[in-house]
Amino acid sequence: MVQAKQAADLHTPSFSQRIVYEAVQDGFLDAHIPSIRTLYGHQCERMLAALEREFPKQATWNRPEGGMFIWVELPEGVDSGALLAKAIERNVAFVPGAPFYAVEPRKNTLRLSFVTVPGEKIDAGVKILGELLKAEIAGLPAAA
């Protein structure tokens, strides 16, 4: 496999290597990382607050200690792929969770990114998702 990879991709392009070198050697990353950590932290907190405010109580999510995503578990019977199609119609997107499972995908999961949009769009997007999710839950068969 290593030999096949080497034959397919002999090296990282020189131009990309030079860009990374410049970013590292002049201290750009050392200065930039603390500012994006702060920004991402604020955006994460904003999304968590919006989820608490807009999502139904049947949904749960993690509280990230780092990274760029919140993992959400929806009630059984809700298909995040079907929910995504409805969300896209309203200009909101997320990543369905099923592809993250190697065996027995869970269709009632999804991943939300909090780093790619400003706070007011986080609020608006989570509000729309909350509305769609509440409608999906209302359409589920009653539990026996």
Residue appearing with tokens 């201290």: 27
Question: Looking at residue 22, which CATH number applies to its domain?
Answer: 3.90.1150.10
Asked if residue 9 is part of any domain, the answer here is no
Q: Is residue 58 domain-resident?
A: yes
In a domain, 4, yes or no: no
89 part of a folded domain: yes
More confident residue, 8 or 122: 122
Residue type, 27: G
Residues 39-56 pLDDT 10s: 999 999 999 999 999 999
Segment 6-41, tens digit of pLDDT: 677 666 778 888 888 888 888 888 888 999 999 999
CB 125 within 8 Å of CB 110: no
Domain count, the chain: 1
Residue 33 lies in a domain: yes
Residue 37 located in a structural domain: yes
In angstroms, the CA 24 to CA 77 distance is: 48
Report the predicted TM-score, pTM, of the whole model to 2 decimal places: 0.82
User: Does residue 104 belong to any structural domain of this protein?
Assistant: yes
Give residue 78's region: left, alpha or beta (phi > 0; psi -120 to 50). Answer: beta
| Angle, CA 94 vertex, CA 90 and CA 100 arms, to 5° | 150
> How much is the pLDDT for 87?
97
Q: State which residues form the domain around 78.
A: 14-138
* Residue 1, domain member (yes or no): no
